[in-house]
Amino acid sequence: MTEWNVGTLPFIWHPLESAANPEGLPDTLPFVATLDPATGTIRQKGNPEVREALSAAYSRGSLITGTMDADGGLGESYADAFLGFICETLLWREFDGLRVLEVGCGTGFLLSRLKALGATVLGIEPGGQGKGGTEYGVEIVDDFFPCARTQGEKYDLILAYGVLEHIEDPHAFLLELRGALATDGSLILAVPDCEPYIEQGDISCFFHEHWSYYDSRSLSRSLNAAGLTPLNEVSGRFGHNLYVRAVAGPTISTVSKLDQLAPMREKSQWLQEAVRKVCEGGEPVGIYVPSRFANYVTSLGLKGPFVFVDDNPVLHNTYLPGIPTPIEPFAALLREQPAQTLIMSLAFSEAIESRLSENALNFTALHSLTLQKE
């Protein structure tokens, strides 16, 4: 199997003030998954309609929450975890004089932390979040990588957090990154670790902004194919991301017959029916982390009623495209007392389960549904 027509999924790109994307952006788009036979990576099949919508969203300032920032909450925790890995994998070396480039640097918060350690830093951010680096006092170029500002430059450390999955041609992108590394330079990447979603057939990992869905094996093969050698790798840290450090090395043939797409599709059919059973009956169902639930609403034609809950205050009183249920704080569950709450987050499931138990609320974690399969 080389293709899987997943169906029509919500086009999620930014928290919305109403249950519809602004004019010019569709609420839903088709999603077809394919398999890269060279690396075993599950990828979204190229589609002109998707490309056009993404271009329009990026020009408006696309923002899926999880951006690193000094917010005292999720954003800062993401930064702390990634910075910890950077320091550990570089053996806590001195950063004085180290030339650092971050591609897709967002606000520049992480760069400001490295600058404080003595590094000379530069950020590339095409989304507008960087605001020229004025917020955190670092230089940020409003452009895509590679760009004129980095032409011919070499860097001791290149960072790309949550970027590679957004690139339609990741091989060409990795080659460009490799070419910008100084002798003995390091590339450190962070991508969502999709292995548990692939293994369970969970379509909640699919977003139109993400062209590639990596696990540790497919990421290593992708790096090898671009002449990069992975040295250190870790998963399961804050947000369930996959971190890896790589250096320039020989290109290795990565041809693989590993097909994860067919079994993912097969498991998905069972999991979607299990979700339908949880949500049927006409009674309100609590949904914790609803952005992970939106694909199921559309693919299964679910009507609710639902109580959407998320702990991120940025999302409160916002909507997902085509779904007329507002996202509320935890207090909404205490108010509505739904008979069942479905936990959609894998990364934060343990903490959510504890909180629901403390408040005597019934719940089912999505990843636990696969354990009920006979």
pLDDT of residue 135: 86
Residue 130's pLDDT band, with cuts at 50, 70 and 90, is: low
pLDDT of residue 372: 61
CA of residue 207 relative to chain centroid, distance: 8
Q: What is the CA radius of gyration of the chain?
A: 21
For range 148-159, the mean pLDDT: 96
Bridge partner list, 212: 43
Nearest residue to 3 via CA among 265, 235, 230:
265
Percent of the chain with pLDDT over 90: 78
| Distance in angstroms (rounded) separating the CA atoms of residues 112 and 135 | 10
Percent of the chain with pLDDT over 70: 94
Cα separations in angstroms, 193 against 38, 174, 177, 196: 19, 18, 21, 8
What is the per-residue pLDDT across 161-199, written as a single tens digit (0 to 9) for each?
999 999 999 999 999 999 999 999 999 999 999 999 999
Give buried/exposed letters for 31-57 (b at 16+ CB in 10 A, else e). Answer: bebbbbeebbbbbbbeeeebeebbebb
Residue 75's pLDDT band, with cuts at 50, 70 and 90, is: confident
For range 26-55, the mean pLDDT: 95
What is the per-residue pLDDT across 277-287, written as a single tens digit (0 to 9) for each?
999 888 999 99
pLDDT of residue 91: 84
Sign of CA dihedral 72, 74, 79, 85: positive
Q: Chain-wide mean pLDDT for the chain? A: 92
Q: Which runs of consecutive H residues, i.e. helices, occur in 124-244?
A: 170-179, 195-200, 216-225
What pTM did the predictor assign?
0.94
Nearest residue to 195 via CA among 219, 211, 171, 159:
219
Q: Would you mind telling me the total number of residues written for the chain in this entry?
A: 374
Per-residue tokens: 328: 């509320």
In this predicted structure, the answer to whether residue 72 has a pLDDT above a threshold of 70 is no
Residue 43's contacts (CB-CB under 8 Å, 6 or more residues apart) are 33, 34, 35, 36, 211, 212, 213
Residue 234's pLDDT band, with cuts at 50, 70 and 90, is: confident
pLDDT of residue 374: 47
For range 255-259, the mean pLDDT: 71
Q: Which of 62-76, 135-149, 204-218 has the lowest mean pLDDT?
A: 62-76
pLDDT of residue 271: 96
Residue 322's contacts (CB-CB under 8 Å, 6 or more residues apart) are 10, 19, 20, 27, 28, 298
pLDDT of residue 258: 75
pLDDT of residue 60: 81
In this predicted structure, the answer to whether residue 65 has a pLDDT above a threshold of 60 is no
* Residues 176-181: contacts with CB under 8 Å, at least 24 apart: 176/145, 176/146, 177/103, 177/145, 177/226, 177/228, 178/226, 178/227, 178/228, 178/248, 180/101, 180/146, 180/150, 180/153, 180/154, 180/155, 181/154, 181/155, 181/247, 181/248
pLDDT of residue 1: 54
Domains of the chain listed by start with CATH number? 3-60 (no CATH), 74-248 (3.40.50.150), 261-372 (3.40.50.720)
**Exposed/middle/buried for residue 317 (C-beta within 10 Å: 0-12, 13-18, 19+):** exposed
User: Higher-confidence residue: 303 or 74?
Assistant: 303
What is the per-residue pLDDT across 314-346, written as a single tens digit (0 to 9) for each?
899 999 999 999 999 999 999 999 999 999 999
| Distance in angstroms (rounded) separating the CA atoms of residues 136 and 111 | 8
